[in-house]
């Protein structure tokens, strides 16, 4: 009887342990480079600071990312890697740890999967920051809520400023015809790592959504037209991004991505400023010396990706029109007051007209007519709205049209218009991020914590669910959510995300059409 009792206890304990194991999170993983040990809390496993490429230091500075270096034993993946070299002050303002380094090619994974066989949808986040700043370790980008809702969330670092985007004729020769797109190549290397390794975390490598905001959203656009990124993702989300304007050749309005030759000339000037004439000398300089050469009033000193003919083949608009792009379903949009962060207040009608005529050439009158500016209040608003539309809105609109007309997959467009007593003119640039990530209440720049209202929590839950649905099935729609129709070139409806989300016609179609006229003229006027 006693023996039977012992057997029963043992059997019960065995079942209990088996049940416990079946509910345990993935804590260990073997990936490219070696073994990892993550950290589990509240049912979510976080793996932070995972190397996905070799440190781009020494002779690897200004080269494409090289394979990750293997490590011995088990690597504890419990803290973010350093942010890529930039102003430590900006990183601190963003809320990330102040450590910056050239040795920065690390990524992070959050998952609630209990086994590698689960095949959950994967989302890969690319941060913004004007290609000059930013970090994956920013608190607003915490992936726990996505993981809680069934997504394996990945965030990655990429090189910024002169470390990520310095082009130079000697670097182009060394690189076989390309230079200055190292930050973009870092993103591609990160996506390749995801394809090879994400199944270890319960992720599905055939169901990857790449998403980003601002420069990160622009990067998503660039990846969508890059042959080097083909097959690395199946869905794309761009928040306030897009790069479909003609290449930037001088000081014309609109468009930020220059051709390789322009970037090379800019790089020659920069190395001259550093007092070096050859690559060996340039690579011997300390990272701090290079960073200190950037102007104090410019985030990254004007370093951008470039159309090199290889990684980024050329004008994205023309590539889409020719069907030469990575055809995936896309979810893309802008915020209502994007320009509020960038355009100083106090613009007068005369100053607005002067700016437009200087930047828009023969199409200036078309632009001026589309943006009423009869008095100071109108001019102030016109300046902000023109910045919004020329930098973010038109490219998003054109992308949606081209995807709809030339792709096999749908485009879903949004317009984020959440307003508060502090932002009566509309949603500021980047303000949608905490709604999407479910990180409302995260300290803002300066460390101030703003308690979200019940309405904001509700809107965040809706937006987060749209993004999760999209990553899961390629369609943002789902139970309990307002219907979000795919973009149609006739009705041109977008999901307006405010206190009562619903599908409505884009509110700035007249202005977007005026800019379309301008960019068409630019392409006709561009030397072939």
Asked if residue 255 has pLDDT above 60, the reply is yes
Tokens 């209440």 -> residue = 441
Give the largest Cα separation in the chain, rounded.
99
Q: Rg of the chain's alpha carbons, rounded to an integer?
A: 24
Q: What would the two tokens of residue 10 be?
A: 């043992």
Is residue 490 one of the residues assigned to a domain? yes
**Based on the domain organization, do 383 and 257 belong to the same domain?**
no
Residue 15's pLDDT band (boundaries 50, 70, 90)?
A: very low
pLDDT in tens, 298-337: 566 789 999 999 999 999 999 999 999 999 999 999 999 9
**Based on the domain organization, do 178 and 42 belong to the same domain?**
yes
Listed range (18-22, 107-111, 431-435, 495-499) with the worst mean pLDDT: 18-22
Asked if residue 414 has pLDDT above 80, the reply is yes
Is residue 440 one of the residues assigned to a domain? yes
Report yes or no: 242 and 218 within 8 Å, Cβ to Cβ: yes
Q: How many CA atoms lie within 13 A of 404 on its CB side?
A: 20
Based on the residue annotation, tell me whether 338 is a catalytic residue of this protein. yes
Is residue 186 one of the residues assigned to a domain? yes
pTM of this structure: 0.94
Listed range (9-18, 146-155, 323-332, 483-492) with the worst mean pLDDT: 9-18
- The answer to whether the Cα torsion of 59, 64, 70, 76 is positive or negative is positive
Is residue 385 one of the residues assigned to a domain? yes
Choosing from 264, 316, 338, 456, the catalytic residue is 338
Residue 154's H or E segment, with its range, is strand 152-156
Is residue 459 one of the residues assigned to a domain? yes
**Based on the domain organization, do 449 and 513 belong to the same domain?**
yes
**Based on the domain organization, do 447 and 488 belong to the same domain?**
yes
* Angle (CA) 391 474 229, round 5°: 60
- The answer to whether the Cα torsion of 313, 245, 293, 128 is positive or negative is negative
Choosing from 311, 326, 341, the residue where a domain stops is 326
Is residue 83 one of the residues assigned to a domain? yes
Question: What integer is the mean pLDDT of 267-277?
Answer: 95
**Based on the domain organization, do 236 and 370 belong to the same domain?**
no
- What domain range includes position 516? 333-528
Listed range (14-28, 50-64, 503-517) with the worst mean pLDDT: 14-28
**Based on the domain organization, do 297 and 345 belong to the same domain?**
no
**pLDDT number for residue 147:** 98
**pLDDT number for residue 250:** 87
pLDDT in tens, 386-403: 999 999 999 999 999 999
Is residue 49 one of the residues assigned to a domain? yes
Based on the residue annotation, tell me whether 429 is a catalytic residue of this protein. yes
Distances (CA, A) of 57 to 65, 155, 179, 284, 339: 10, 22, 16, 10, 37
CB atoms within 10 A of CB 314: 16
* Angle (CA) 95 303 386, round 5°: 80
**Based on the domain organization, do 346 and 307 belong to the same domain?**
no
Average pLDDT, the chain: 93
Q: Are strands 152-156 and 120-126 parallel, antiparallel or unpaired?
A: parallel
Is residue 160 one of the residues assigned to a domain? yes
- Name residue 62's beta-bridge partners: none
What CATH number should be reported for the domain holding residue 503?
3.40.50.1820
**Based on the domain organization, do 179 and 77 belong to the same domain?**
yes
**pLDDT number for residue 16:** 35
**Based on the domain organization, do 342 and 319 belong to the same domain?**
no
Asked if residue 527 has pLDDT above 60, the reply is no
Sheet holding 502-505, edge to edge: 39-41, 44-51, 106-111, 152-156, 120-126, 203-213, 235-239, 329-335, 411-416, 493-497, 502-505
**Based on the domain organization, do 345 and 494 belong to the same domain?**
yes
Asked if residue 264 has pLDDT above 80, the reply is yes
Choosing from 283, 305, 326, the residue where a domain stops is 326
Residue 10's pLDDT band (boundaries 50, 70, 90)?
A: very low
**pLDDT number for residue 125:** 98
**Based on the domain organization, do 281 and 372 belong to the same domain?**
no
pLDDT in tens, 168-227: 999 999 999 999 999 999 999 999 999 999 999 999 999 999 999 999 999 999 999 999
Instruction: Locate the DSSP E strands across 349-458.
Output: 411-416
Asked if residue 526 has pLDDT above 80, the reply is no
Residue 297's pLDDT band (boundaries 50, 70, 90)?
A: low
Q: How many domains does the chain contain in total?
A: 2
Measure the CA–CA gap between 220 and 395, rounded to whole angstroms: 12
Asked if residue 129 has pLDDT above 60, the reply is yes
Measure the CA–CA gap between 523 and 315, rounded to whole angstroms: 10
Distances (CA, A) of 248 to 234, 263, 320, 394, 470: 29, 10, 18, 15, 33
Q: Are strands 502-505 and 493-497 parallel, antiparallel or unpaired?
A: antiparallel
Listed range (68-82, 144-158, 438-452) with the worst mean pLDDT: 438-452
Sheet holding 34-37, edge to edge: 28-31, 34-37, 74-76
**Based on the domain organization, do 289 and 339 belong to the same domain?**
no
Based on the residue annotation, tell me whether 286 is a catalytic residue of this protein. no
Residue 496's H or E segment, with its range, is strand 493-497
Choosing from 214, 226, 240, 262, the catalytic residue is 214
- Residue 406, classified by CB atoms within 10 Å of its CB into exposed (0-12), middle (13-18) or buried (19+), is middle
Any idea what DSSP says for residue 259? B
pLDDT in tens, 437-470: 999 999 876 667 789 999 999 999 999 999 999 9
Choosing from 373, 418, 429, 464, the catalytic residue is 429
CB atoms within 10 A of CB 74: 12
Choosing from 326, 361, 391, the residue where a domain stops is 326
């Amino acid at each position: 009887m006693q023996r039977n009792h012992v057997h029963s206890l043992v059997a019960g304990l065995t079942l209990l342990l088996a049940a416990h194991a079946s509910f345990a999170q993935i804590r260990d993983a073997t990936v490219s480079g070696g073994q990892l040990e993550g950290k589990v809390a509240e049912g979510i496993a976080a793996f932070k600071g995972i190397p996905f490429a070799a440190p781009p230091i020494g002779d690897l500075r200004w080269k494409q990312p090289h394979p990750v270096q293997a490590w011995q034993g088990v690597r504890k993946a419990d803290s973010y890697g350093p942010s890529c070299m930039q102003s430590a002050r900006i990183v601190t303002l963003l809320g990330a740890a102040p450590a910056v380094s050239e040795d920065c090619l690390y990524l992070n994974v959050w998952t609630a999967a209990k086994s590698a066989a689960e095949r959950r949808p994967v989302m890969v986040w690319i941060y913004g920051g004007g290609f000059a700043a930013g970090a994956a370790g920013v608190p607003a980008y915490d992936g726990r809520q996505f993981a809680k809702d069934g997504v394996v969330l990945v965030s990655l670092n990429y090189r910024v400023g002169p470390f990520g985007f310095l082009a130079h004729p000697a670097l182009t020769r060394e690189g076989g015809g390309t230079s200055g797109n190292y930050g973009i190549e870092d993103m591609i290397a990160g996506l390749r790592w995801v394809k090879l390794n994400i199944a270890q975390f319960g992720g599905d490598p055939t169901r990857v959504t790449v998403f980003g905001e601002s420069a990160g959203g622009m990067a998503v656009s660039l990846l969508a037209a890059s042959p080097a990124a083909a097959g690395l993702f199946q869905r794309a989300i761009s928040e306030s991004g897009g790069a479909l304007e003609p290449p930037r050749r001088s000081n014309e309005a609109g468009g930020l991505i220059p051709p390789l030759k322009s970037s090379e000339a800019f790089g020659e000037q920069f190395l001259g400023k550093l007092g070096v004439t050859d690559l060996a000398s340039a690579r011997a300089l300390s990272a701090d010396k290079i960073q200190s050469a950037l102007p104090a009033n410019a985030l990254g000193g004007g370093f951008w990706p470039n159309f090199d003919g290889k990684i980024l083949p050329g004008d994205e608009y023309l590539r889409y029109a020719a069907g030469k792009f990575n055809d995936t379903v896309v979810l893309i949009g802008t915020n209502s007051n994007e320009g509020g962060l960038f355009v100083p207040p106090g613009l007068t009608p005369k100053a607005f007209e002067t700016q437009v005529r200087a930047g828009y050439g023969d199409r200036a009158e078309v632009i001026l007519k589309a943006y009423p500016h009869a008095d100071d209040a109108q001019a102030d608003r016109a300046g902000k709205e023109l910045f919004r539309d020329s930098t973010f809105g038109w490219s998003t609109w054109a992308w949606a049209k081209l995807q709809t007309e030339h792709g096999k997959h749908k485009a879903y467009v949004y317009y984020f218009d959440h307003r508060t007593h502090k932002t009566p003119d509309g949603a500021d640039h980047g303000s949608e991020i905490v709604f999407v990530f479910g990180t409302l209440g995260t300290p803002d720049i300066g460390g101030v914590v703003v308690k979200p209202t019940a309405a904001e929590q509700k809107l965040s839950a809706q937006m987060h669910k749209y993004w999760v649905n999209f990553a899961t099935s390629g369609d943002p729609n789902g139970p309990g959510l307002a219907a979000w129709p795919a973009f149609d070139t006739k009705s041109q409806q977008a999901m307006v995300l405010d206190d009562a989300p619903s599908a409505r016609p884009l509110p700035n179609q007249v202005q977007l059409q005026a800019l379309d006229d301008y960019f068409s003229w630019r392409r006709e006027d561009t030397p072939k």
